[in-house]
């Protein structure tokens, strides 16, 4: 079962990825994507192993961004591949049928490729501008996401779609009305004063 709330890890000035993963799990997040850029595979693997321990303690699903081999070695539940990374089909060949595999999408065609390749879910965005991601794809906004969801419905395609990219709490009700499965957030939880209250208040 794909969660309707995905927390994407980030490192901040006062906290590591693992600090933020720990706090997100404590706050009630049950789906964690470990997203580490510009580090060695050794560093990412050691962090993923530690993140798996944290997630296991809180019965949370761990997804590793970009690295299927590391995800498998760390005992993660799955991997998420970006638009500029390997295909979902290539990741599936490395990890096997039981692994959860998600793929990043910016267009309807992106989603159709992921569906053909056997993705379990897609991350659709960016909803609005975000500083979390380098090489940002064109902004979709509410209308763009609504149009893509309408097209999927008309085609009879029902893959879980997770909206991502600068989403605020106030955006969620209108986003959910488009037919998406859920949302992925980073800063909304990382920078929250009361993370538990923020997680419990999200209307998904």
What residues form the annotated binding site?
A: 33-37, 65-66, 85, 104, 130-133, 166
Token readout for 15 is 């906290």
In angstroms and rounded to an integer, the radius of gyration of the C-alpha atoms of the chain is: 16
**Strand, helix or coil for residue 79:** strand
Q: Is the dihedral of CA 12, 15, 17, 20 positive or negative?
A: negative
The Cα-based distances of 38 to 35, 42, 43, 57, 80 in angstroms read: 10, 12, 10, 28, 16
Q: What separation, in Å, do the N-terminal and C-terminal C-alpha atoms of the chain show?
A: 15
Instruction: Tell me the C-alpha distance between 97 and 12, whole Å.
Output: 35
Query: In sequence order, which ranges of 40-121 are alpha helices (DSSP H)?
Result: 41-57, 68-74, 88-95, 108-116
Bridge partners of 1?
A: none
Known binding-site residue numbers for Mg(2+): 66, 85
Q: Evaluate whether 180 touches 161 at the Cβ level (below 8 Å).
A: yes
Tokens 């998600």, residue? 102
User: Exposed, middle or buried by CB within 10 Å (0-12, 13-18, 19+), for 164?
Assistant: buried
């Amino acid at each position: 079962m794909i969660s309707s709330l995905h927390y994407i890890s980030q490192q901040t000035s006062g906290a590591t990825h693992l600090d933020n993963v720990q706090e997100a799990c404590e706050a009630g997040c049950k789906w964690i994507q470990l997203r580490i850029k510009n580090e060695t595979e050794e560093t990412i693997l050691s962090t993923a192993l530690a993140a798996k321990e944290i997630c296991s303690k809180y019965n949370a699903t761990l997804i590793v961004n970009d690295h299927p081999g590391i995800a498998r070695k760390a005992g993660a539940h799955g991997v998420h591949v970006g638009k500029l990374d390997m295909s979902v089909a290539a990741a599936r060949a490395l990890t096997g049928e039981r692994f959860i595999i998600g793929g990043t999408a910016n267009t309807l065609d992106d989603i159709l490729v992921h569906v053909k390749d056997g993705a379990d879910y897609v991350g659709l965005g960016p909803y609005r501008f975000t500083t979390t991601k380098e090489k940002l794809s064109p902004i979709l906004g509410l209308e763009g996401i609504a149009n893509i969801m309408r097209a999927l419905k008309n085609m009879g395609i029902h893959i879980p779609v997770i909206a991502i990219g600068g989403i605020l709490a106030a955006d969620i009700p209108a986003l959910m009305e488009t037919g998406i499965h859920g949302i992925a957030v980073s800063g909304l939880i990382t920078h929250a004063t009361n993370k538990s209250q923020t997680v419990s208040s999200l209307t998904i």
